[in-house]
Structure 1
Amino acid sequence: MLRLLTIEFHKLKHNTASKVLSIIYFGLLTSIALIAAIKFEFGDFKLHFAEMGIFNFPYIWHFNTYVASIFKFFLLLVIVSMMANEYSYKTLKQNLIDGLSKKEFILSKFYAVIAFALASTVFVFIVSLVLGLFYSDYNELAIITSDLEYILAFFIKLVGFFSFGLFLGILVKRSAFAVGAMFIWFIFEWIIYGVLGWKFVSWDTAQSIKNFLPLESMMNLIKEPGSRLGPVKSAASAMGETFTKSYAVEFSTILIVIAWTFIFIYLSYALLKKRDL
């Protein structure tokens, strides 16, 4: 495993675009901390995000992982360009000539995906912990360590998303086309949902089916945290509205995303094994 990872990071070390995108990505993750400094004042109206409780434990685990997952597209570009460069610079063929098997080649890419996801998860965990210890009104250990399943969900979400990107990178061989293919698949999932709900089953059943599709299941891992925030609930309650939504990380959704991850890695290997290089 270490040998295969070393090969991948040696390639990335000499790829300027990948290094720039990685720096931007981790810079954006760090910028979550800047939310705490945002203050708006309009006459008597004052808004300070840190005082709204977004950095309170355990809510911060939910909020930060949701916001951080928005930035995952920067690392997706690194993953798909990593594959595109293998074809452009003939390094894939050279690796196979040098004795690397196709299985080892796919494993090296998958290990890189896990490494990126793990580094992102640890980074978000540290940033969230520091912000929480600084701003949270609740610092009891039991409260701090509750809802940590969002950190696990974040890691699984990234691994699944990047594995999908890896498969598309191998399929189409061009980074721009791979990103475009993922966007088309996103639209395709909505088309499936619309056609099923309109013509064949109820909308609830259509949504249940859509929940099994790759991108939808990944999005379902960490649901939007905005309506969970205290001030939002209070405002909704004042208008006679109540939120009955479940924000929990569902074990079934974790299993679905893990299943898709293995499917994408297997298809990547099957495609590479079949393809004449």
Structure 2
Amino acid sequence: MLRLLTIELQKLRYNRAAKVISIIYFILITFIALIASIEFNFGDFHFRLADQGIFNFPYIWHFNTYIAAILKLFLAIVIVSMMSNEYSYRTLKQNLIDGLSKKEFVLSKFLTVLLFSIISTIFIFAVSLILGFSFSDYNEVGIIFSDMEYVAAYFIKLVAFFSFCLFLGVLVKRSAFALGFLFVWFIGEKILWGILEYRLYKEKADSIMQFFPLEAMSNLIKEPFTRLGAVQSAANQLGENFTKDYNVSMLTIGIVLVWTALFLYWSYAILKKRDL
């Protein structure tokens, strides 16, 4: 496996666009943290997001992984272009001529997906720890390392999403068209959800849509904003009450893992049948 990963890293080493996009991704995550800690002064009114509890342990694990997951499209561009370059520069055909099997080729791409996901997860973990120790009101060990399921869900979400992008890259061959297909799929799921909600009750629509790939990935880490104490206090004053379940669902994890396996299998099946 190390040999396969080395081959992929060697290709990425000379891919300037991939390096630039990856750096931008990690810089943006850091900038979110910096912006959140900046104090805004409006006359006698002083406001800083960090003072609203967003960096408190254990809430920070939920908040940071949710925000970082939004930016995953940057690394998705790297994954898609990595696959399209195989067709453009004919390196895929050359690898097969050199003795690499199609199964090993897909495995090498998946190992790269895992590497990107691991690095991103470690990075968001480190950033969250630093911000938490700097701004959190709670520093007990038991509190710090509770809610760590959001970090695990973040990793699973990245692996699944990048596997989907890998599949689209294999299927469509061109990065621009693959990303376009991804956007169309996203819109398609939203339209279908709207139709189901119109025809059925919202609960029934949600129970059906949870089995679709992008919706399942989205459900791994639900939005954290209504969980914030200040938001719930304001809602209570207005007579509203949030009863949302913010926990990471094992059913959702299972659905996402099944889709990940399917994307990898379909990638291999397409390459196996395709005349390269």
Give the partner amino acid of 1:248.
Answer: N
Question: Does residue 260 in structure 1 map to residue 259 in structure 2?
Answer: yes
Question: Does residue 150 in structure 1 map to residue 144 in structure 2?
Answer: no
Distance verdict in 2 for CA 1:44–1:241, change over 3 Å? farther
8 Å CA contact 1:61–1:151 kept in 2: the answer is: yes
Partner of 1:41: 41
Partner of 2:6: 6
Partner of 1:91: 91
Cα distance between partner residues in 2 of 1:66 and 1:203: 23
1:118-197 superposed matches below 5 A:
118-197=118-197
1:97-138, Cα deviation, whole Å (9 max, x unpaired): 000000000000000001000100000001101111111110
Give the partner amino acid of 1:119.
Answer: I
**Secondary structure, aligned partner of 1:147:** coil
8 Å CA contact 1:36–1:48 kept in 2: the answer is: yes
1:13-66, Cα deviation, whole Å (9 max, x unpaired): 000100100110111122232034322222333211111111110000000001
**Secondary structure, aligned partner of 2:171:** helix
1:49-88 superposed matches below 5 A:
49-88=49-88
1:127-167, Cα deviation, whole Å (9 max, x unpaired): 10111111111000000010000000000000000000000
8 Å CA contact 1:32–1:64 kept in 2: the answer is: no
1:205-225, Cα deviation, whole Å (9 max, x unpaired): 122110110000000101111
Shift of 1:263: 0.4
Name which of structure 1's ranges 241-250 and 107-116 shifts more when overlaid on structure 2. Answer: 241-250
Shift of 1:241: 1.3
TM-score by length of 1: 0.97
8 Å CA contact 1:35–1:50 kept in 2: the answer is: no
Question: Does residue 226 in structure 1 map to residue 225 in structure 2?
Answer: yes
Partner of 1:275: 274
Distance verdict in 2 for CA 1:37–1:192, change over 3 Å? closer
**Secondary structure, aligned partner of 1:237:** helix
Shift of 1:194: 2.9
**Which ranges of structure 1 fall in alignment gaps of 5 or more residues?**
none
Cα distance between partner residues in 2 of 1:13 and 1:118: 18
8 Å CA contact 1:169–1:178 kept in 2: the answer is: yes
Shift of 1:235: 1.2
Cα distance between partner residues in 1 of 2:125 and 2:32: 12
Give the partner amino acid of 2:213.
Answer: P
**Secondary structure, aligned partner of 1:99:** coil
**Which ranges of structure 2 fall in alignment gaps of 5 or more residues?**
none
Cα distance between partner residues in 2 of 1:252 and 1:41: 45
Cα distance between partner residues in 1 of 2:93 and 2:57: 50
Shift of 1:254: 0.6
Give the partner amino acid of 2:237.
Answer: A
1:86-107, Cα deviation, whole Å (9 max, x unpaired): 0000000000000000000000
1:214-255, Cα deviation, whole Å (9 max, x unpaired): 000000101111111111111111211111111111111111
Shift of 1:85: 0.2
Cα distance between partner residues in 2 of 1:193 and 1:64: 27
1:93-112 superposed matches below 5 A:
93-112=93-112
**Secondary structure, aligned partner of 2:46:** strand
Give the partner amino acid of 1:259.
Answer: V
**Secondary structure, aligned partner of 2:55:** coil
Give the partner amino acid of 1:7.
Answer: I
1:143-195, Cα deviation, whole Å (9 max, x unpaired): 00100000000000000000000000010001111111011001111222233
Q: For this pair of structures, how many residues does the alignment match?
A: 276
